[in-house]
Amino acid sequence: MGSPPSASLKQNNLIFLVFIVILFFCSIPDKANLCSTQASVNPSVVPYKSSSNISSLETLQLDGYFSFDHIDYAAKDFGNRYHFLPLAVLHPKSVSDISNTIKHIFKMGSTSKLTVAARGHSHSLQGQAQAHQGIVINMESLQGPEMQIHTGELPYVDASGGDLWINILHETLKYGLAPKSWTDYLHLTVGGTLSNAGISGQAFKHGPQINNIYQLEVVTGKGEVVTCTEKQNAELFYGVLGGLGQFGIITRARISLEPAPKMVKWIRVLYDEFSKFSNDQERLISSKDSFDYIEGLVIINRTGLLNNWRSSFNPRDPLQASRFISEGKTLYCLEIAKYFNPDESDITNQKTESLLSELSYISSPRFLSEVSYVEFLDRVHLSEINLRSKGLWEIPHPWINLLIPRTKIIEFAQQVFGNILTGNSNGPILIYPVNKSKWNNRTSLITPDEDTFYQVAFLSSAMPSSTGRDGLFHILAQNQRILDFCSKAGLGAKQYMPHYSTQEEWQAHFGPQWEVFVNRKSTYDPMAILAPGQRIFRRK
């Protein structure tokens, strides 16, 4: 299906930088060749040029082309911590360019160690879309059939794996339609989010993005172009969804649509007790007639919090809001939204007030904003523009994203928000529950073994050269304390967009599904060519 730096934390919109979405492809398979160790950060890998590999690639007949020089950008991503230089970047104009390239490498067999990584909009966090001395495919170069929208009884859009979700939104809205499930940041590629899950505040209602796909076109690790659905080539279909890029590159997807609203009533309310906050969230996601979007934020010692909200939200009681003090407190913000059309304004207000009347938030302040549907969904992009203007976008982002079982969330909150995080955080902390019944258990995505679990995202940003609390070393150490606590306490937590350095950790992550995952890898990418950046398997 959800962020940035400390210098901009006081900016209103930054609290939404949630790009939960995102990271993509990343690994390479075979049962025996499992990667058991891996260096964590390598910012200065020295490139070497294999003339034989270059000559071999230059023989391919392509609609697009390879770049062999000035390709440093392909060794960078949003995480800005891992930098592995490729040998070449493929700029495909057709699916056959991708297929022929992978097929060529597959036929070379063990005489070549070339790997292939699909790169979308470069929002990976830990080098997942990089390929050291391999080939990076620039998916945004992919051309093919234009976006096709079907407006029948079960509406859908056929889109390229390299299309951005923001473009899909704009195109489908021309027909009064839109995808059902989103990530919090829309400037990501279709193939990228579907290789993970795609989670946002609509997931409690519609499941993640991978649960709203009818059909995929995939290029496997053998170079085969395969169309798959839940009934046709189903093993590949479910394997690729949430499969971390291990079984194939998504080149096209058929995405479920629904009628799109025009407006959004966007509300924030505060809690000073976590149990009341979580109880209300769980009540809302279980209600038949609830809000359309439900997320939450943990706010630790944030000075002037409400003043920072005022540019986008109107307080229900301005006087009480002006007297509210957030400094020195840990607060929990419930962020909810109700979609509507202008002619439904009165009834929407009544439903909203009825739902709010059942909640236990602090009575004042309450903040409200009414914005267009596009403005709401694309809210994080405004923060990106602001951060780029200040030079605060391309800095390290040591994020961790966790899925915590509902029965353990109180224990998690007490330890993490009460003892580990004791000061102002270096970025937004998202927390909200989802219903597992909305998630298809046949996909490769791994979730906790409970009917309800929480998405918890620590979206930190590290200031360059800092040795303080906003420095990379401090944040990484803090992240490790959180992970260590989850492990030692036996919470049954799972990483979303996982990143591990040993085979044992990957096996523990997948649990009973490990053999299924390995078998799928052996079937669809037996030479372990695809997505080396995830470091699950080693190239044969």
H-helix or E-strand containing 346? helix 345-357
The answer to whether 184 is a known catalytic residue is yes
Cβ–Cβ under 8 Å, residues 21 and 199:
yes
Residue tagged active-site, from 295, 378, 470, 525: 295
Residue tagged active-site, from 83, 121, 123, 132: 123
Who contacts 513 (Cβ-Cβ below 8 Å, separation ≥6)? 444, 446
Burial class (CB in 10 A: 0-12, 13-18, 19+), 3: buried
Cβ–Cβ under 8 Å, residues 80 and 397:
yes
DSSP code of 417?
I
The answer to whether 384 is a known catalytic residue is no
Who contacts 201 (Cβ-Cβ below 8 Å, separation ≥6)? 184, 293, 294, 295, 335, 337, 432
Q: What is the DSSP string of 99-127?
A: HHHHHHHHHHGGG----EEEESSS--SSS
Paired tokens of 333: 């913000």
Q: Give the Cα separation of 284 and 356 in Å (integer).
A: 10
Residue tagged active-site, from 77, 97, 171, 184: 184
Q: Give the Cα separation of 119 and 133 in Å (integer).
A: 15
Q: Give the Cα separation of 179 and 254 in Å (integer).
A: 11
Cα dihedral: 506, 509, 514, 516 (round 10): -120
**SS3 state of residue 297:** strand
Radius of gyration of the chain, Cα coordinates, nearest whole angstrom: 23
The answer to whether 470 is a known catalytic residue is no
Q: Give the Cα separation of 25 and 225 in Å (integer).
A: 17
Question: How crowded is residue 385: how many other Cβ atoms within 10 Å of its Cβ?
Answer: 10
Residues acting as catalytic residues: 123, 184, 295
